[in-house]
Amino acid sequence: MKYYRIDFPFRVTDSQIDLTVRLILESQHTSAQRFNSRDFYVVLWPEHPSGGIDSRRLIPFLERSGIRYLDYTQIPEGHAPGALTPYDRHPTAQLHEAVAKRIVEDLKI
């Protein structure tokens, strides 16, 4: 799709965010049953410098649903050279490591 300069979704609506949050709630419920633990967090990854979907739009929906989250959208490591693969915006091992360190620190694990 990159060849044709098409990206999906074209626009994220509130109803799509509601659906996403319902899926997350079901995942949270399944996790609590399966692992007998209430430790469930959504990790909001650093934003790609060229824009795209703003995952911070999820925050009010997550808060209304009582879902805990870790907001790493603005961490400096997210904008460091080599943080994202150049063509598909996916995090590299370098960024995975930086986010993992922050999770360990923030959750004190």
What is the per-residue pLDDT for 88? 78
Residue-wise pLDDT tens digits, 45-90: 887 666 666 889 999 999 999 999 999 999 989 888 888 888 877 8
**C-beta of residue 72 within 8 angstroms of C-beta of residue 102:** yes
Position with higher pLDDT, 98 vs 10? 98
What is the per-residue pLDDT for 8? 63
What is the per-residue pLDDT for 47? 75
